[in-house]
């Protein structure tokens, strides 16, 4: 998802959740529409400050968390503990392969939790997600290719 479709979708979700659609929120939606990868709260804050120098980090962070709760953004904790956000890709159930070097993300549809599982305590799963961290083919090739 990218481009104005994503902006309009994000704004529609904000509106459905009772948010006032301000220029700042439109800009926030545009930042994610223009960026396919992951953005840390600091990355988003820095981009917002270009247009809105008085915006606070707390305001940006609070909006990111709320957009994540609405399902507009997905949040990921990377191996270093850093939190990053990305536009949601909930078109179908899938999981993510995330490159530790370049953060390129691939989706894959296989889900081991879709198997019948006998969970302890008669536990019922209502939602889940998981990410697999590794090194993508491009980064592997760069690592194994000696510098010229």
From the options 3.30.300.30, 3.40.50.720, 1.10.10.10, 3.60.150.10, give the CATH code of 4-87.
1.10.10.10
CA distance 113 to 120: 14
Indicate the length of the chain as a whole number. 148
Domain 4-87 and domain 95-144, same fold? Reply is no
Q: What are 47-61's pLDDT values in tens digits?
A: 999 999 999 999 999
The residue to which tokens 């609070």 are assigned: 62
59 with 70: CB under 8 angstroms?
no
- Map out the domains of the chain as residue ranges: 4-87, 95-144
**Mean pLDDT within 15-29:** 95
CB 91 within 8 A of CB 76: no
Provide the 10 A C-beta neighbour count for residue 68.
16
CATH 3.30.1490.190 fits 95-144, yes or no: yes
Q: What is the pLDDT of residues 1-11, one digit of tens each?
A: 444 458 898 99
Tens of pLDDT, residue by residue over 107-131, are: 777 777 767 777 888 887 777 777 7
| In the block, residue with structure tokens 């939790």 | 113
């Amino acid at each position: 998802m990218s481009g104005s479709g994503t902006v309009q979708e994000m704004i529609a979700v904000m509106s459905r959740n009772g948010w006032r659609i301000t220029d700042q929120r439109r800009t926030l939606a545009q930042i994610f529409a223009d960026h396919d990868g992951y953005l840390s709260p600091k990355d988003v804050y820095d981009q917002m400050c270009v247009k809105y120098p008085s915006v606070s980090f707390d305001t940006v962070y609070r909006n990111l968390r709320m957009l994540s709760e609405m399902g507009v953004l997905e949040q990921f904790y990377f191996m270093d503990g850093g939190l990053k956000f990305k536009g949601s890709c909930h078109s179908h159930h899938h999981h993510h392969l995330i490159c530790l070097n370049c953060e390129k993300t691939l989706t894959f549809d296989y889900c081991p939790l879709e198997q019948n599982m006998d969970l302890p305590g008669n536990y019922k799963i209502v939602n889940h997600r998981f990410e697999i961290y590794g090194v993508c083919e491009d980064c592997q090739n760069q690592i194994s290719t000696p510098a010229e």
